[in-house]
Structure 1
Amino acid sequence: MSETVFSNFDTVKFEGPTSDKALVYQYYDADRVVLGKPLKEHLRFSVAYWHSLVMNGTDPFGGPTIDRPWMKAGDPIALAKLKADAAFELFRVLDLPFYCFHDMDMAPTGECLAENLRNLHTMAEYMAEKMQIYSTQLLWGTANLFSHPRFMAGASTNPDPEVFAWSAATVKNCMDVTKQLGGSNYVLWGGREGYETLLNTNMHQELEQMGRFLSLVVEYKHKIGFDGQILIEPKPKEPTSHQYDFDTATVYAFLKRFGLEGEVRVNLEANHATLAGHSFEHEIATAGALGILGSLDINRGDALLGWDTDQFPNDLWTMTMAMYHMIKAGGLGKGGCNFDAKVRRQSFDPEDVIHAHVGGADLCARAFLTAAKLIDEGKYDAILIERYAGWKTGSAVDVLAGKLSLEKIEEMALENKINPQPKSGKQEQIENLLARAIYSEKI
């Protein structure tokens, strides 16, 4: 086993909130049983291969600041294997159960489609070998269908049918590899599935292409016996001015249009939610209400910047409410909490990557524990139940059940001489309740 930039770090352990050590978990006690199962099974943490191993510190205004051994010139496959060695040592250090990848993260780009696919399968074999040695498993795989210039006008939505075919072949092989490596999900992120201007866009044509593409993916899933979830990751803009997978509600409408609402769920990212003008909890609650919550990408944006900064989370209130709605939606099932986040350009030491994940895991764990406590105590839920109690009694039940016509509702309203009066929403009371729970030392 070759030495890597992460090999000299000890595996991070849980030591509890009283520990003053930097590289320990204070709240992420993986085996602690909460709501009937271990914390690690609720959260299913994942490390993003691209941000942790591929990102080199480049941003729109500056060049690389991070230099790793596998980023130098040399044999592409040998360097990809060196990167994989480092990846699994990082997974070992963090002791988190899963990782996620794009095809281009783990396999070098070739001169043609055939070489791309050969490289992908070569590296898949190597990853499989690593997974026999280490305990980390695959949460999901996906394909990068946005970086290369051929995708400048989209992948499935491209005006050129050859780009559609290239994309279909790539996704087909990425699904094969995801199944081979035991992945629980396959994610489709339409990085350029949208438009920059309607002046040169036939929206109906592009949506039809996108619907056909997704239908092909679902058909292939069943053909190969892949029992994981197919997920779409919504994003409203950047790089295009308007993307077709804008947010959860838009994705659901798209799935309904093509009869796929029972086949596809969403992988929600916090920073994408805020770019859409929503909160993370809103997107999770929406997906829960529509029955399509699949998995989460954990990160945050910068309120002073209007683009996807992909920072590690640090807001306990926001994450607690996200976890509350995740639990209320029935949990993540085969999904997980993937740290789709990268260290800052000035944080170029390997140790910085470890610190970032430790902090992210601890924040999410504490947020989950607080949300679980809120649910267990029942005070917050009791306020909500009381607010909607009228819908559980009398004719209101029949209204929701579709048993009363508009005329009948009018007739009953007049007969009963109803005169509804405003009732307090108790927002401040709820905010105080939540704040005390979130910032309590007892979890």
Structure 2
Amino acid sequence: MTSFFKDIAPIKFEGPDSTNPMAFHHYDPDEIVMGKRMEDHLRFAVAYWHSFAWEGGDPFGGQTFERPWHPQDDMGRARVKADAAFDMFDILGQPYFCWHDADIRPEGPDFATSLRNFEEIIAYFQEKMATRKIRLLWGTANMFSHRRWMSGASTNPDPDVFAYSAATVKTCMDATHKLGGENYVLWGGREGYETLLNTDLGRELDHMGRFLNMVVEYKHKIGFKGAILVEPKPQEPSKHQYDYDAATCIGFLRKYGLEDEVKLNLEQGHAILAGHSFEHEIATATAEGMLGSIDMNRNDYQSGWDTDQFPNNVPEVALAYYHILKSGGFATGGTNFDAKLRRQSLDAEDLIAAHVGGMDICARGLKAAAAMLEDGGLETALSDRYAGWDTADAKTMLDSDLDTIFASVLSGNVAPEPRSGRQEMLENYVNRFV
């Protein structure tokens, strides 16, 4: 073990009565929930970027964290960072992790050098994973931080940047495949515009659609069996991003013939920025059969930006998992903690405790969601509310036309009386479980 996490023992489940801050109080990986182990339901992953690459800066101040792998500019320190990361994986015992290429290797002076650095670290990861249970939930490419991406990646007005993007994604897909990754994610942080005065929106969308088709074609070429996922976000860093929310992404995928090839990676914080709840985004995706995976975090509701805090709201989390369980649960996806410490939380213990708390919150939410599904109260209320559509007359009407429906209403056969939606009673019902 590296010195960074010295004296921190592996986290164990001690139950809800324990007062130990470095123990699980609700997350018991072997607990059976709806016939499946809790670990297999939640499929937790640690995000390499926020946990190890982020230095504690914000828009108004620079680095606050001091880590043994800072500055992150050579391969020696990249290996130290990897050592610390796998030490933390051992401590937490979560089954997965996720990375961007820029998180795990230093940038070189040219593409070839960056690729050599990347491949060296991937080989180092392979060695470490060979002796552990840890697996890769997904890999992805950071095509938003470096100045080359300032006008987008696949949507860039410069075709050379499009080419650089394609080469970058190829290398990251190869690495994800090599490590046995279960998904590959694309997040278009700069795939959008700052002003329409210099933007050919239609051309950029077409280029983005062609790029994603290239990704799918390459997936099949190399025999990658995982899912391709895109991650919606409405804004920040771009004024307007083309992958605004789940509904926008679904429409985009259908336009470019990708609805059977690509699913969604949904994030709680991004849902809030789009003006939605997390359960809304998940319900939208599951209704269309397009839920892939989730990034679990939260935003500060008093701030207007993406604060990426660890989850602490059981009712929000429970409703999210309710829709996930209702749809059959995760297939290749899981629960990735796309969350970071507060910049004042400087210690190694803070990083462990943050994940412990997040895993406990998700465990409580999962159990509440399962209990609601097993009780069936919400499903019964839903069935009762739409019962009229199960009648023969209603089904016939859907196969009819406006003239026939008009005649039926005019004859007096239709006289609707409003019925209560019972929202407050249903909210009270949910509160019984959370």
Deviates more, 1:380-389 or 1:6-15: 6-15
SS of 1:237's partner is coil
2:354 maps to 356
Q: 1:399 to 1:131 in 2, by over 3 A?
A: farther
| Cα displacement string for residues 87-135 of structure 1 (whole angstroms, at most 9, x for unaligned residues) | 0000111111100000011111111111111111111100000101222
2:406 maps to 410
SS of 2:408's partner is helix
How far apart are the structure 2 equivalents of 1:81 and 1:386?
59
How do 1:13-412 residues align onto structure 2 when only pairs under 5 Å count? 13-72=12-71, 76-400=74-398, 403-412=399-408
SS of 2:316's partner is helix
SS of 1:397's partner is helix
2:9 maps to 10
How far apart are the structure 2 equivalents of 1:125 and 1:340?
24
How far apart are the structure 2 equivalents of 1:184 and 1:308?
26
| Cα displacement string for residues 382-405 of structure 1 (whole angstroms, at most 9, x for unaligned residues) | 1111011111111222344xx222
How far apart are the structure 1 equivalents of 2:223 and 2:412?
58
Question: How many Å apart are 1:349 and its aligned residue?
Answer: 0.2
Matched AA of 1:48 = A
How far apart are the structure 1 equivalents of 2:382 and 2:2?
55
Q: Is the 8 A contact 1:7 1:89 kept in 2?
A: no
Matched AA of 2:140 = T
Number of equivalences: 434
| Cα displacement string for residues 400-424 of structure 1 (whole angstroms, at most 9, x for unaligned residues) | 4xx2222233333344621010001
How far apart are the structure 2 equivalents of 1:399 and 1:182?
51
SS of 2:28's partner is coil
SS of 1:68's partner is coil
TM-score if structure 2 supplies the norm length? 0.98
Question: How many Å apart are 1:381 and its aligned residue?
Answer: 1.4
How far apart are the structure 2 equivalents of 1:42 and 1:161?
43
TM-score if structure 1 supplies the norm length? 0.96
How far apart are the structure 2 equivalents of 1:399 and 1:84?
62
Q: Is the 8 A contact 2:72 2:78 kept in 1?
A: no
Question: How many Å apart are 1:7 and its aligned residue?
Answer: 4.0
How far apart are the structure 2 equivalents of 1:371 and 1:392?
27
How far apart are the structure 1 equivalents of 2:222 and 2:328?
28
Q: Is the 8 A contact 1:4 1:89 kept in 2?
A: no
How far apart are the structure 1 equivalents of 2:49 and 2:397?
51
How far apart are the structure 1 equivalents of 2:412 and 2:325?
40
Q: For structure 1, which runs of at least 5 residues remain unmatched after alignment?
A: 439-443
Q: 1:362 to 1:410 in 2, by over 3 A?
A: same
How far apart are the structure 2 equivalents of 1:410 and 1:262?
39
Question: How many Å apart are 1:270 and its aligned residue?
Answer: 0.4
How far apart are the structure 1 equivalents of 2:18 and 2:282?
33
How far apart are the structure 2 equivalents of 1:97 and 1:341?
17
Question: How many Å apart are 1:330 and its aligned residue?
Answer: 2.1
How far apart are the structure 1 equivalents of 2:2 and 2:269?
35
Q: Percent identity?
A: 55
2:423 maps to 427
How far apart are the structure 2 equivalents of 1:239 and 1:72?
24
How far apart are the structure 2 equivalents of 1:21 and 1:321?
28
Q: For structure 2, which runs of at least 5 residues remain unmatched after alignment?
A: none
Question: How many Å apart are 1:73 and its aligned residue?
Answer: 7.2
Question: How many Å apart are 1:142 and its aligned residue?
Answer: 0.2
Q: Is the 8 A contact 1:228 1:334 kept in 2?
A: yes
How far apart are the structure 2 equivalents of 1:84 and 1:158?
32
How far apart are the structure 2 equivalents of 1:297 and 1:420?
43
Q: Is the 8 A contact 1:45 1:96 kept in 2?
A: yes
Q: Is the 8 A contact 1:139 1:335 kept in 2?
A: yes
